[in-house]
A and B are shown apart, each in its own frame.
Chain A
Amino acid sequence: DVVMTQSPLALPVTLGQPASISCRSSQSLVHSDGNTYLNWFRQRPGQSPRRLIYKVSNRDSGVPDRFSGSGSGTDFTLKISRVEAEDVGVYYCMQGTHWPPGFGGGTKVEIK
């Protein structure tokens, strides 16, 4: 199975400052169809996960443009340009390229 490794585990950030989360996969996530199925989710306390980014860098509808995804192959990054209070939660990367689909361990974003 593909192993998804996120870092850091916890990310204390100051309001208005940038934040960055890394996600690395044990195999390339480029699918045979040419797409890279790497998604990012945020789970706020007590809520279901919500997808923010799909196929590496595409923002879902309603997701603020302060969120951006980048990367290729095995190395991916989620960036928040200016953290707001509503951004707290646990962020997960997930690969859908290889069976079985797999999630990273999560990164907890909290306000300093």
Chain B
Amino acid sequence: EVQLVESGGGLVQPGGSLRLSCAASGFTFSSLWMSWVRQAPGKGLEWVANIKQDGTEKNYVDSVKGRFTISRDNAKNSLCLQMNSLRAEDTAVYYCVRGKMGFDYWGQGTLVTVSS
């Protein structure tokens, strides 16, 4: 059974940093692209970043470029999102999602709240 379990969310002040993690199981993690998608409270879905199987290609939505870094550890079946210089508009539930175009499995999400 495919499982994606996010952790690391919480309350952080504007300008602060947070590191999200996603533990993957039930599939060959190293063979698939992985993505992060977020959802602001009461709003729709927004793709944030993705990373190639071997980590050599990474893509970001314009609003997070230079502030967020996606990474993966295939030995530990783990996906991460390092978020720096956080802004109020980054407040959202962040989902770990399998794939680049298919998005077939989603984690339960972790809430990030940026507020003073």
- Whether B109 and A94, one on each chain, are in contact in the complex, defined by CB atoms closer than 8 angstroms, is no
A106 at the interface (CB under 8 A from B): yes
Stretch of A10-18, A19-27, A44-52, A72-80 on the interface side: A44-52
Interface residues on A, range: 20 to 34
Whether B44 is near chain A, meaning CB under 8 Å from some CB there, is yes
Chain A residues near B95 (CB-CB < 8 A):
48-49
Measured CA separation A103–B96 after assembly (Å) = 16
- Residue of B47, B59, B105, B107 touching A103 (CB-CB under 8 A): B47
Whether the Cβ atoms of B47 and A100 lie closer than 8 Å is yes
- B102 interface residue (CB < 8 Å to A): yes
**Among candidates B47, B104, B108, residue contacting A102 with C-beta atoms closer than 8 Å:** B47
Binding site for A on B (CB under 8 A): 35, 44-47, 50, 59, 61, 95, 100-109
